[in-house]
């Protein structure tokens, strides 16, 4: 092997190392989009009323990697500009608000009004179809009772 050939081989090996390290860099980059969504984009779940198809409740999760924030608009109340939440709760929410819906999972997601979900009907209803009372309670079209406004 001539000296020049060795030089070329060494160069190739270096190039290979550079390529490898930039690939590793890509792989180890933090996953900025929770649950594999677009990087940096918020996760949005909109629940629609099973009677009129209006949006009953809206969940928005911004951020990732321990700095997640939740913005929630429930049937009668929400959390305004948002609150920080844990990655563990983000997982519970993602798990709960994807079909098929499971009353136990929706309960575990920790929304005071279950995001408008009637556990008995296993359906979402909007504010009109929850027939809210002035005391913050509501009845679904089949008469099941739920607290919609705890404040
Ligand atoms: Zn409705
Ligand atoms: Zn019901």
Assign 2 to helix, strand or coil: coil
Name the percent of the chain lying above pLDDT 70: 73
Query: Domain limits of the chain?
Result: 1-30, 34-147
Q: Which residues surround ligand 1, an ion (CB under 5 A)?
A: 49, 51-52, 54, 126, 129
13 exposed, middle or buried (CB, 10 Å; 0-12, 13-18, 19+)? exposed
Assign 31 to helix, strand or coil: coil
Q: pLDDT (tens digit, 9 = 90+) per residue, 68-95?
A: 999 999 999 999 999 999 999 999 999 9
Q: pLDDT (tens digit, 9 = 90+) per residue, 106-140?
A: 999 999 999 999 999 999 999 999 999 988 899 99
Q: Which ligand is nearest to the CA of 141?
A: 2
Structure tokens at 15: 């190039």
pTM: 0.72
The mean-pLDDT minimum among 6-15, 101-110, 117-126 falls in 6-15
Dump strand ranges (E) for 13-150. Answer: 43-48, 55-62, 69-73, 83-84, 117-118, 123-124, 137-139, 145-147
Structure tokens at 84: 């920080």
What is the rounded average pLDDT for all residues in the chain? 84
Cα–Cα distance for residue pair 68/39, rounded to 1 Å: 13
């Amino acid at each position: 092997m001539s000296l020049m050939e060795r030089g070329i081989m060494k160069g190739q090996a270096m190039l290979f190392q550079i390529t490898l390290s930039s690939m590793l860099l890509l792989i180890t980059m933090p996953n900025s989009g929770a649950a594999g969504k677009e990087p940096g984009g918020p996760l949005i779940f909109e629940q629609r009323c099973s009677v009129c198809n209006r949006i009953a409740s809206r969940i928005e999760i911004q951020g990732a990697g321990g700095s997640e924030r939740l913005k929630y608009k429930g049937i009668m109340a929400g959390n305004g500009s948002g609150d920080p939440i844990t990655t563990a709760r983000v997982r519970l929410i993602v798990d709960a608000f994807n079909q098929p819906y499971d009353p136990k999972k929706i309960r575990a997601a920790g929304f005071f009004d279950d995001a408008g979900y009637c556990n008995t009907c296993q359906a979402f209803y909007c504010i009109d179809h929850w027939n809210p009372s002035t005391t913050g309670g509501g009845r679904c079209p089949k008469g099941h009772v739920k607290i919609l406004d705890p404040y």
